[in-house]
Amino acid sequence: MLLLWVSVVAVSSALAAPAPGTGAQRRGAAGAPNVVLVVSDSFDGRLTFHPGSQVVKLPFINLMKAHGTSFLNAYTNSPICCPSRAAMWSGLFTHLTESWNNFKGLDPNYTTWMDVMEKHGYRTQKFGKLDYTSGHHSISNRVEAWTRDVAFLLRQEGRPMVNLIRNKTKVRVMEKDWKNTDKAINWLKTEAINYTEPFVLYLGLNLPHPYPSPSSGENFGSSTFHTSLYWLERVSRDAIKIPKWLPLSEMHPVDYYSSYTKNCTGKFTEKEIKNIRAFYYAMCAETDAMLGEIILALRQLDLLQKTIVIYFSDHGELAMEHRQFYKMSMYEASVHVPLLIMGPGIKANQQVSNVVSLVDIYPTMLGKKSHIEISLLIYCYWEYKLIQIF
């Protein structure tokens, strides 16, 4: 309660005295900075601050931390792809989108923040993974995520495992993501560079989501943590913690059920668990490198000074904590997401501990004043309001 009150005071004083040069009356996009969003999948937010940050080298996330503002308590609104993304694109909580699983998201004609920005004069472009509308994934996704208690889906996932690529120096392991990164950079170089209006670019990455495991039988899922030595070398094995597990008999039935359907109730050696975690962190390093390519391209094109860069993820990854992998759980590894923002008007080297979530992205993009955390985000840390429409 006290925290809320303090927040309100902070917001009202910020409202009463807007920083000079904020363009508070501005309508429409003219003169506003560009916005580039890099959005990954399954990235455990705890890796972006101490002590999680010790386990893997993430040079571009560190760069964003140094030159921008990072949120230490950013959470997903639902720890699974579609529901999380539906909340982020709509600014609505899950009980309002009624997107409970990967089958149902937003209607394809839903007006997202990007549509609103486009209407107000921004050029917009999206590349890569979106996953926020209805009808994707399989029909089984209607029931599997939270209520797997149906015979044909029991233990549908393969056991989590690692797969090391033979080529030691392979950089582009997740080729599809790299291709989308290249496309985004090419768009910056050939299109965005010539725009007189500001632009909004969205790049959706699939990493560090585990890869499909077709060798695991008919109902295989994505249980393979896959990388090359090139990325594994960024991981400090000694810093990897082995999570403590309860004996199976003492697990809460819900956790046991999750663990069971994720094929994690068998025996795992400590080495196996450490490997899975190391491979996952290596996949996070590859994700960071793609974020880096975008930042470097912006710099090379002289756009970095007038572009707000935002990085976040749809949810986290348990990576064998609580005897599980994947997400679909309210434990920290699954719900804590990274959120970093840098660019003109955003404080450098600033760490914010207020709780924020992915629904805050929508009003933040639109400069709407309502929710406390959103307001904090906008009025305390954003000198620029992207557009003033509310």
Ligand X SMILES: *[C@@H]1O[C@H](CO)[C@@H](O)[C@H](O)[C@H]1NC(C)=O
Q: Which of 123, 136, 155, 183 binds ligand X (CB under 6 A)?
A: 155
The helix/strand/coil state of 34 is strand
Which string of x and - marks every residue 51-90 that binds ligand X (by CB under 6 A)?
Answer: ----------------------------------------
Question: What distance separates the 2 farthest-apart alpha carbons in the chain?
Answer: 64
Phi and psi angles of residue 72, each rounded to the nearest 5 degrees, phi first: -85, -15
User: In 3D, which of 73, 79, 37 has the Cα closest to residue 341?
Assistant: 37
In three-state secondary structure terms, 106 is strand
Axis-axis angle for helices 270-300, 59-67 (nearest 10): 60
Does 109 interact with ligand X (rule: CB under 6 A)? yes
Please state the closest distance from residue 369 (CB atom) to ligand X, in A.
25
Specify the residue, 147 or 167, whose C-beta has the smaller distance to ligand X: 167
Write out the H or E segment, with its range, that includes residue 280.
helix 270-300
CA distances (Å), 258 to each of 39, 46, 267, 366, in order? 26, 22, 16, 38
Residues identified as active-site: 81
Considering only residues 25, 169, 269, 370, which one is a binding residue for ligand X as defined by CB under 6 A? 169
Distance CA 79, CA 148 (A): 16
Q: Which residues have a Cβ under 8 Å from the Cβ of 253 and sit 6 or more positions away?
A: none
According to CB under 6 A, which one of 97, 99, 206, 263 is a site residue for ligand X?
A: 263
| Residues 178-207 as x/- pattern, contact with ligand X by CB under 6 A | ------------xx--x-------------
Query: At closest approach, how far in Å is the CB of 283 from ligand X?
Result: 16
- 98 vs 107, beta carbon nearer ligand X: 107
- Least separation in angstroms between residue 170's CB and ligand X is 4
The smaller minimum CB distance to ligand X, of residues 251 and 337, is found at 251
Site residues (CB under 6 A) for ligand X? 107, 109, 155, 158-159, 167, 169-172, 190-191, 194, 216-217, 263
